[in-house]
A and B are shown apart, each in its own frame.
Chain A
Amino acid sequence: MTVKLFEPIASSRPSQSLFPLRDNEPDYALLKDPQSAERNRYGNPIALIDLVDEASSLNINGVSEKGFNPNRNKQHAFHFTADNCIGCHACESACSEKNDLPPHLSFRSVGYVEGGTYPNFVRMNISMACNHCDDPVCLKGCPTRAYTKHPEYGAVIQDPDICFGCGYCTWVCPYNAPQLDPVAGQVEKCNMCVDRLEVGLKPACVSACLGNALNFGVVENTPERREQIDTRIPGFPDPEITKPNIRFQQTRNMPRELTRTDSAPIKYRRDDAAGHYRPAVDKKSGSARFWNLPRLSSRENPLVLFTLAAQAAIGLFAMLFIGSMTGNDVVSSIGVSVVYPAAVALCLGLVAFGLFMSTVHLGKPIRFYRGFNNLRHSPVAREGAGVAGFMAFAGLHMVAVLGQQAWLQDYLPALAQFNGSLAAAAAASGVLAIASSAIGLYYMYRCYRIKARPFWDNRQTAFSFVGCSLYLGGLALAAVGSVALLLEGASIAPLLSLCGVLMGTGLALEGLGLYLHARDMDAANNEGTVSHYVQCTTFGKTYLLRNALLVLCAAGLLLAPLYVAATAGVAFWLVLALAAVVVAVIGRALFYVLVVPTTMPGAFFWKNKGFEQHARDIGLAAMPQVGVVPDLH
Chain B
Amino acid sequence: MLFGRRKKNPIILRDKGVVDWKYATCGYCSTGCAMEVGLDKDGKAVTTRGVADAPVNRGKLCIKGITEAGILDAAGRGTEPLLRGHTYDPWQTVSWDAALDKTAAEFQRIQEKYGRDSVAVVSTGQILTEEFYTLGKLVRGIIGTNNYDGNTTLCMASAVSGYKRSFGSDGPPGCYDDFSHTDCLLAFGSNLPEQHPVIYWRLKEALEERKFPIIVVDPRVTMFAQFADIHLPITPGTDLVLLNSLCHVILKEGLADEDFIAAHTNGREAFAALVDEYNPGMAAKITGIDEDTIRHVARLYASAGAAMSIWTMGINQSTHGSDGVCAINNLNLITGNIGKPGGTSLSITGQCNAMGTREWSSCSGLPGYRALENPAHREEIGQFWGVDPEFFPKQRGRFMTDIFPAIETGEIKALWLVATNPMTSMPNTGRIRKILEKLEFCVVQDAYQDVEATQYAHAYFPASVWAEKDGCFTNTERRVNRVTPVTAPLANSKPDLWIFNQLAKRWEQGARMNFPESASDVFEEMKLLSVGTGANGAPRMLDISGMNHALIEQQRGIQWPMRAGDETGAARLYSDGVFQFPDGRAKLLALPWTDNNEKPDTDFPFWLNSGRVVEHFHTRTRTGKVGNCNKFSPTAYMEMNPDAAREIGVEHMQYVRLVSRRGDAIVLAQLTQRVPRNMVFVPFHFHDCVNRVSLGLLDPHSRQPAFKQAAVRIEQVDQAEAARLNREMRAY
Contact = CB atoms under 8 A, between A and B. Distances in A.
* Interaction A to B: yes
Interface string A1-44: 00000000000000000000010111011000000000000000
A121 B66 CA distance: 30
B628 A149 contact: no
B52 interface: yes
A149 B3 contact: yes
A194 B11 contact: yes
Interface in A452-482: none
B672 A114 contact: yes
B568 interface: no
Given A121-B221, A148-B5, A151-B2, A61 B675 contact: no
Given A88-B62, A93-B63, A625-B627, A212 B633 contact: no
A213 to B, nearest CB: 9
25 contacts: A59-B11, A86-B193, A88-B193, A88-B194, A89-B615, A93-B63, A93-B628, A99-B15, A102-B627, A114-B673, A119-B233, A191-B11, A208-B66, A210-B204, A604-B670, A605-B631, A605-B633, A605-B634, A605-B635, A606-B632, A623-B634, A624-B627, A627-B627, A627-B628, A627-B634
Interface stretch (B510-518, B528-536, B721-729): B721-729
Contacts of B634: 605, 615, 620, 623, 625-627
A413 interface: no
A357 B434 CA distance: 59
Interface string B44-83: 0001100011000011111100110000000000000000
Nearest to A627: B631
B631 A161 contact: no
A223 to B, nearest CB: 11
B197 A61 contact: no
Interface of B: 1-5, 8-16, 47-48, 52-53, 58-63, 66-67, 193-194, 197-198, 200-201, 204-205, 208, 221, 223, 225-227, 231, 233, 614-615, 624-635, 637, 641, 643, 652-653, 670, 672-677, 723-724, 726-727, 730, 732
A531 to B, nearest CB: 20
Given A88-B194, A211-B201, 9 more contacts: A62-B10, A86-B193, A92-B628, A104-B631, A123-B672, A261-B670, A604-B670, A614-B653, A625-B626
Interface in A161-208: 161-162, 191, 194-195, 207-208
Give the 10 A-B residue pairs with the shortest CB-CB distance, closest first: A103-B627, A627-B631, A86-B193, A625-B627, A119-B233, A26-B59, A210-B201, A626-B634, A59-B10, A121-B673
B43 to A, nearest CB: 18
Given A93-B66, A148-B8, A610 B653 contact: yes
Given A151-B2, A604-B670, A208 B628 contact: no
A93 B629 contact: yes
Nearest to B233: A119
A96 interface: yes
Contacts of B676: 118-119
Interface of A: 22, 24-26, 28-29, 48, 58-62, 84, 86-90, 92-94, 96-104, 114-119, 121-123, 125, 136, 139-140, 145-146, 148-151, 157, 159-162, 191, 194-195, 207-208, 210-212, 225, 261, 263, 284, 376-377, 603-606, 610-611, 614-615, 617-620, 623-628
Contacts of A614: 653, 723
A127 to B, nearest CB: 13
Nearest to A91: B63
Contacts of B637: 604-605
A212 B194 contact: no
Given A210-B200, A620-B727, A90 B673 contact: no
A48 B2 contact: yes
Contacts of B726: 618, 620
A89 B675 CA distance: 22
Contacts of A628: 631
Nearest to A212: B204
Contacts of A617: 723
B208 A118 contact: no
B205 A212 contact: yes
B633 to A, nearest CB: 6
A125 B614 CA distance: 14
Contacts of A210: 60, 62, 193, 197-198, 200-201, 204
Contacts of A114: 672-674
Nearest to B730: A620
B615 A122 contact: no
B265 to A, nearest CB: 35
Nearest to A608: B653
A284 B652 contact: yes
A115 B625 CA distance: 33
Contacts of B200: 86, 210-211
B204 A88 contact: no
A86 B194 contact: yes
A525 to B, nearest CB: 23
A109 to B, nearest CB: 10
Given A61-B12, A93-B628, A627-B630, A88 B63 contact: yes
Contacts of B194: 86, 88
Given A24-B52, A86-B200, A212-B205, A100 B625 contact: no
A160 B9 CA distance: 11
Nearest to B17: A100
B632 A89 contact: yes
Given A623-B730, A625-B626, A627-B631, A377 B11 contact: no
Nearest to B199: A210
A325 B604 CA distance: 82
A87 B641 CA distance: 20
B624 A88 contact: no
B631 A625 contact: yes
A377 B3 CA distance: 9
Given A88-B197, A208-B60, A210-B198, A123 B3 contact: no
Nearest to B635: A620
B58 to A, nearest CB: 5
The interface centre, meaning the residue of B13, B198, B630 with most chain A CB atoms within 10 A of its CB, is B13
Contacts of A121: 221, 226, 672-674
A234 to B, nearest CB: 15
B732 A625 contact: yes
Given A88-B63, A140-B3, A208-B61, A100 B16 contact: yes
A212 B676 CA distance: 29
B546 to A, nearest CB: 25
Given A159-B9, A620-B635, A626-B631, A123 B674 contact: yes
B201 A618 contact: no
Contact of A26 (B9, B52, B193): B52
Given A610-B653, A625-B624, A150 B66 contact: no
A627 B11 CA distance: 27
Given A24-B53, A626-B630, A191 B198 contact: no
Contacts of A87: 193, 223, 614
Contacts of B631: 103-104, 605-606, 625-628
B223 A86 contact: yes
A119 B231 contact: yes
Contacts of B223: 86-87, 123, 125
A58 B10 CA distance: 7
Contacts of B627: 102-104, 624-627
A103 B630 contact: yes
Contact of A90 (B15, B48, B63, B227): B63
A99 B15 CA distance: 6
B611 to A, nearest CB: 15
The interface centre, meaning the residue of B221, B625, B626 with most chain A CB atoms within 10 A of its CB, is B221
Nearest to B4: A376
Contacts of A377: 3-4
Contacts of A103: 627-628, 630-631
B581 to A, nearest CB: 39
B204 A84 contact: yes
A99 B62 CA distance: 17
